[in-house]
Amino acid sequence: MNLQLAMGASHLLGPLPPEKTPSILKAIRHGQDNPMAIIPRAAYRDPVWSSSSFFGNALLVSDPAGVKQVLLDKVANYPKADMEREILSAAFGEGLLSSDGEKWRSHRRIMAPSFDIRSLVSYVPAMAAIAEARANAWHTAGSAEINISDEMTGLTLEVISRTMFSADASDLTAIVGDALKDGQDQFDFSILDMMPVIGRWHIGRMIKRVHETFSVLDDAMYPLIAARAKMAGDAPRDLLDRLIAARDSETGIGMTDREVRDEVVIIFLAGHETTAVAMTFVWYLLSQHPDVEAKLHAELESVLGGRAPAHADLAKLPYARMVIEEAMRLYPPAPGLSARQVAADDEICGRKVKKGRMVLIFPWVLHRHEALWDDPLRFDPERFGPERSAGRPRFAYLPFGGGPRICIGAQLAMMEATIILATLAQKFRLRLVPAQDIELQARITLRPKDGIRMRLEPR
């Protein structure tokens, strides 16, 4: 049980990290479910932090210039760590999140048009319709109690099925949703992983479990790919068509079914769970901050006046965007970026780093860092307004990572989150069911372990 975070909901903005580095035994006990809970206080004050006792003598970098060096300026010297890629590959094979080098570059190029502005605009009506349908279902439910995490997960999975893979993939939504949920549960990273012998053993078992769980998806994925390949037409309709039609510009060779499967699986997972977690915390935070909620309602009323949002409206909803940004500051859906590994000896923020050393960047720590944010634990969307954002280093805020490996779906996710928020908040308030313990759990995403129970209040 995670003691730091298994606190009443009113304390969810915490935890205040421990003052001292916990002993390794305490760390193992506390960090099983959420390694973020055992990061010592010093890490939230200092530009870099290292400990030989846990995180395997890795260097945690939380200085924006140091982060920029790793993710952008000297990115070739800081590839994703071998161990990290091995673990991710058990689920996603050589999909975009885990691949590297020429394969990564080529696949990213192929997928890019599905995330360009023209494609994004074309997704808006589907996103708004899916959110609207959920509002209608909520109306039927009256003032029922819901688990907002499950609601948001269902909603975002539907959006990704419809926008990336068109309607035929929606039949898969249930199978995919279950397999991805079970699969993510297997990523039980723990402090144990950093220990010399036990660590390798624990990771080996985890890789086997992850691989077995994600294999279930193959029975659904390969028939989907085969059926679509037969229908291949001239202009790609969606991401799946694009993956199937892609040809290497030099060799003319297309992707194998396995390569297409790997990209489809990573888009299904990365494309819905993260946005669902972000939205879950948005609703939680709104329920705790009536002043913010009132301001949001006023903006929605004046811009939309009850109608569904269209693409042109999104730029007129800056406060909605600030609420989402601030929720992701406090609860970054991806609390830690993939570990990077030093390729050749270097120096970060004046610290020598030797070849092979792990370098960690944790948005969770960066976003709560005392040198970067005033009153970091306070929920305060106005800090993302133009005045207070001016001068903030770009690499101080990284919900979507940064540099060439930045999230390919960042704009899609922001757009989707704004549409979901604008549609549902015009019709409902969500009230926290009192006296529940909300425990955070870090898998690939940071999420409330058993979700968050809320009561619908039609407006």
Task: Rule CB under 6 A: choose which of 162, 405, 443, 449 binds ligand HEM.
Answer: 405
Find tokens 């606190």 and name the residue.
7
Would you say 97 or 155 has its CB closer to ligand HEM?
97
Q: With contact defined as beta carbons under 8 Å apart, do 443 and 185 qualify?
A: yes
Would you say 30 or 261 has its CB closer to ligand HEM?
261
Would you say 84 or 346 has its CB closer to ligand HEM?
84
Q: What's the one-letter identity of residue 330?
A: L
Instruction: In angstroms, give the least distance from the CB of 58 to ligand HEM.
Output: 14
Beta strand ranges found along 323-380 (DSSP E): 340-341, 346-348, 351-353, 358-360
Per residue in 279-301, is it b (16+ CB within 10 Å) or e — as a string? bbbbbbbbbebeebbebbbebbe
Q: With contact defined as beta carbons under 8 Å apart, do 348 and 71 qualify?
A: no
> Contacts with ligand HEM: how many residues (CB under 6 A)?
24
Determine how many CB atoms are found less than 10 A away from the CB of residue 9.
Answer: 19
Instruction: In angstroms, give the least distance from the CB of 408 to ligand HEM.
Output: 5
Instruction: In angstroms, give the least distance from the CB of 336 to ligand HEM.
Output: 8
3-class DSSP state of 404: helix
Instruction: In angstroms, give the least distance from the CB of 334 to ligand HEM.
Output: 4
Would you say 292 or 334 has its CB closer to ligand HEM?
334
Would you say 27 or 425 has its CB closer to ligand HEM?
425
Would you say 186 or 280 has its CB closer to ligand HEM?
280
Q: Give 400's contacts (C-beta < 8 A, 6+ positions apart).
A: 334, 406, 407, 410, 413
CA distance 123 to 344: 43
Task: Rule CB under 6 A: choose which of 191, 300, 413, 430 binds ligand HEM.
Answer: 413
Task: Rule CB under 6 A: choose which of 381, 409, 448, 451 binds ligand HEM.
Answer: 409
Binding mask 250-279 for ligand HEM (x = CB under 6 A): ----------------xx--xx--xx--x-
Q: What value does the CA radius of gyration of the chain take, rounded to a whole number of Å?
A: 22
Binding mask 272-311 for ligand HEM (x = CB under 6 A): --xx--x---------------------------------
**Listed ranges 341-349, 369-377, 406-414, 432-440: which one lies at the site for ligand HEM (CB under 6 A):** 406-414
408 interacts with ligand HEM by CB under 6 A: yes
Q: Which residues 106-135 are close enough to bind ligand HEM by CB under 6 A?
A: 108
338 interacts with ligand HEM by CB under 6 A: yes
- φ, ψ for residue 61 (rounded to 5)? -105, 125
CA distance 94 to 261: 9
Q: Which of 190, 191, 187, 165 is nearest to 176 (CA)?
A: 165
342 interacts with ligand HEM by CB under 6 A: no
Instruction: In angstroms, give the least distance from the CB of 282 to ligand HEM.
Output: 10
Task: Rule CB under 6 A: choose which of 207, 303, 334, 425 binds ligand HEM.
Answer: 334
Would you say 159 or 303 has its CB closer to ligand HEM?
159
Q: Which residue is nearest to ligand HEM (CB)?
A: 409
Binding mask 71-90 for ligand HEM (x = CB under 6 A): --------------------
Task: Rule CB under 6 A: choose which of 399, 425, 428, 449 binds ligand HEM.
Answer: 399
DSSP states of 167-185 as a string? GGGGGGHHHHHHHHHHHHH
Distance of CA 389 to the CA centre of its chain: 22
44 interacts with ligand HEM by CB under 6 A: no
Task: Rule CB under 6 A: choose which of 12, 83, 90, 96 binds ligand HEM.
Answer: 96
3-class DSSP state of 34: coil
Q: What's the one-letter identity of residue 396?
A: A
Task: Rule CB under 6 A: choose which of 60, 412, 430, 452 binds ligand HEM.
Answer: 412
- Planar angle of CA 408, 409, 410, nearest 5 degrees: 100
Task: Rule CB under 6 A: choose which of 206, 282, 285, 337 binds ligand HEM.
Answer: 337
Element (H, E) at 431: strand 428-432
Handedness of CA 242, 243, 245, 248 (dihedral sign): positive
Instruction: In angstroms, give the least distance from the CB of 69 to ligand HEM.
Output: 14
To the nearest 10°, report the CA torsion of 414, 416, 418, 423: 180
Would you say 271 or 448 has its CB closer to ligand HEM?
271
**Listed ranges 14-22, 223-231, 409-417, 433-441: which one lies at the site for ligand HEM (CB under 6 A):** 409-417
CA distance 174 to 89: 23
Rounded to whole angstroms, what are the CA distances from 47 to 245, 340, 392? 46, 17, 16
Element (H, E) at 322: helix 318-330
369 interacts with ligand HEM by CB under 6 A: no
Q: With contact defined as beta carbons under 8 Å apart, do 317 and 299 qualify?
A: yes
The residues of the shown chain that bind ligand HEM, judged by CB under 6 A, are 96-97, 108, 160, 266-267, 270-271, 274-275, 278, 333-334, 337-338, 399-401, 405, 407-409, 412-413
